Amino acid sequence: MCKETIERDVFDSHEVDTCPKRIVTCEFCEFPLPAVDLAEHQEVCGNRTELCYQCNSYVRLRETYSHQTKCPGSVLNNVESSRRIPRAAEGDGNGRRRRDGNGFSNKRLFFTIAITGIAVLIGSLFFQRKPEGS
């Protein structure tokens, strides 16, 4: 793989454990890449954010595990229903109410279903089979 001269007795362990050209996967996105490039990739990849649906805040991928243990809406810290936004997430600290993230996604889902239904209807009208006797 890396063209490094290795003794036979340690070749297998080198190939699996220490070779800089061995293929490893990113813990954040599961993208396969050479081990030599992993640190640089994870520096960028780990700084990407995802929305925490429990507290409605954005969390860096590298901080996901620690956030899950501290999140006020987490199952670990909250015995209330997971369908409710926790009280800590209702306001943003400035007296303003946070927007419910589920309202937007329900509208988008309804819109997608409606567009799909219309597309199926139009497709069935355009691509009808003509009777073979005609």
- CATH number at 33 reads 3.30.40.10
Q: Is residue 16 part of a domain?
A: yes
- Whether the pLDDT of residue 14 is over 80: the answer is no
Domain containing 7: what range? Answer: 1-46
Q: Is residue 92 part of a domain?
A: no
Record the pTM.
Answer: 0.46
**Please, which pLDDT band fits residue 133 given cuts at 50, 70 and 90?**
low
Domain count, the chain: 1
CA distance 25 to 40: 13
Q: At CA 67, angle to CA 61 and CA 71, rounded to 5?
A: 140
Give the count of beta carbons closer than 10 Å to the beta carbon of residue 96: 8
Reference 84, options 100, 99, 95, 60; nearest CA is 100
Nearest 5°: phi and psi at 89? -95, -5
Mean pLDDT of the chain: 74
Determine what percent of the chain is predicted with pLDDT higher than 90.
Answer: 17
Q: Is residue 31 part of a domain?
A: yes
16-36: per-residue pLDDT in tens? 677 888 888 999 898 999 989
